[in-house]
A = this chain, B = another copy of it.
Amino acid sequence: MVLLRSHIGQTLRAARRDQNRTLRDVARQARVSLGYLSEVERGQKDASSELLNAICNALGLSLSIVITDVAREISAYEAVKLVVVDAA
Protein backbone atom coordinates (compact mmCIF):
# COMPACT_ATOMS: atom_id res chain seq x y z
CA MET A 1 0.00 0.00 0.00
CA VAL A 2 1.34 3.45 -0.92
CA LEU A 3 1.39 5.60 2.22
CA LEU A 4 1.67 9.37 2.23
CA ARG A 5 3.98 9.33 5.27
CA SER A 6 6.46 6.99 3.53
CA HIS A 7 6.89 9.40 0.64
CA ILE A 8 7.04 12.47 2.89
CA GLY A 9 9.73 10.72 4.92
CA GLN A 10 11.78 9.79 1.86
CA THR A 11 11.59 13.33 0.51
CA LEU A 12 12.65 14.88 3.83
CA ARG A 13 15.51 12.43 4.28
CA ALA A 14 16.76 13.01 0.72
CA ALA A 15 16.65 16.78 1.23
CA ARG A 16 18.57 16.53 4.51
CA ARG A 17 21.23 14.29 2.97
CA ASP A 18 21.56 16.59 -0.05
CA GLN A 19 22.44 19.31 2.46
CA ASN A 20 24.95 17.03 4.26
CA ARG A 21 23.16 17.61 7.53
CA THR A 22 22.65 15.29 10.47
CA LEU A 23 19.35 14.23 12.01
CA ARG A 24 20.50 15.95 15.20
CA ASP A 25 21.11 19.26 13.46
CA VAL A 26 17.77 19.37 11.63
CA ALA A 27 15.84 18.08 14.66
CA ARG A 28 17.35 20.79 16.88
CA GLN A 29 16.58 23.54 14.39
CA ALA A 30 13.01 22.25 13.90
CA ARG A 31 12.59 21.86 17.68
CA VAL A 32 11.49 18.26 17.38
CA SER A 33 13.13 15.30 19.08
CA LEU A 34 15.73 13.34 17.14
CA GLY A 35 13.63 10.20 17.56
CA TYR A 36 10.54 11.91 16.14
CA LEU A 37 12.41 13.16 13.06
CA SER A 38 13.97 9.75 12.54
CA GLU A 39 10.56 8.04 12.68
CA VAL A 40 9.08 10.60 10.26
CA GLU A 41 11.97 10.13 7.83
CA ARG A 42 11.58 6.35 7.93
CA GLY A 43 7.83 6.62 7.28
CA GLN A 44 6.96 5.16 10.66
CA LYS A 45 5.10 8.18 11.98
CA ASP A 46 2.63 10.60 10.39
CA ALA A 47 4.07 14.05 11.09
CA SER A 48 1.52 16.57 12.30
CA SER A 49 1.04 19.43 9.85
CA GLU A 50 2.65 21.85 12.30
CA LEU A 51 5.76 19.74 12.82
CA LEU A 52 6.01 19.05 9.08
CA ASN A 53 6.19 22.82 8.59
CA ALA A 54 8.85 23.11 11.28
CA ILE A 55 10.95 20.41 9.57
CA CYS A 56 10.51 22.04 6.14
CA ASN A 57 11.58 25.39 7.63
CA ALA A 58 14.63 23.79 9.22
CA LEU A 59 15.57 22.42 5.79
CA GLY A 60 14.96 25.81 4.14
CA LEU A 61 12.23 24.32 1.94
CA SER A 62 8.70 25.55 1.37
CA LEU A 63 5.86 23.11 2.04
CA SER A 64 4.86 23.36 -1.63
CA ILE A 65 8.31 22.21 -2.80
CA VAL A 66 8.15 19.20 -0.50
CA ILE A 67 4.57 18.22 -1.33
CA THR A 68 5.10 18.70 -5.07
CA ASP A 69 8.04 16.29 -4.85
CA VAL A 70 5.94 13.86 -2.78
CA ALA A 71 3.13 14.02 -5.36
CA ARG A 72 5.59 13.23 -8.13
CA GLU A 73 7.01 10.27 -6.20
CA ILE A 74 3.57 8.84 -5.42
CA SER A 75 2.53 9.21 -9.08
CA ALA A 76 5.67 7.36 -10.20
CA TYR A 77 5.08 4.66 -7.59
CA GLU A 78 1.46 4.15 -8.66
CA ALA A 79 2.51 4.04 -12.34
CA VAL A 80 5.01 1.25 -11.59
CA LYS A 81 2.33 -0.66 -9.68
CA LEU A 82 -0.01 -0.40 -12.68
CA VAL A 83 2.67 -1.75 -15.02
CA VAL A 84 3.30 -4.68 -12.67
CA VAL A 85 -0.42 -5.45 -12.43
CA ASP A 86 -0.78 -5.24 -16.22
CA ALA A 87 2.12 -7.61 -16.69
CA ALA A 88 0.75 -10.15 -14.21
Contacts and interface: CB of A to CB of B under 8 A. Distances in A.
Contacts of A49: 3-6, 46
A48 interface: yes
A68 interface: yes
A49 B46 CA distance: 7
Interface string A58-77: 00001110011011001101
Interface in A15-67: 46, 48-50, 52-53, 62-64, 67
Interface residues of A, number: 23
B64 A71 contact: yes
A47 to B, nearest CB: 8
Given A49-B4, A49-B5, A50-B3, A74 B63 contact: yes
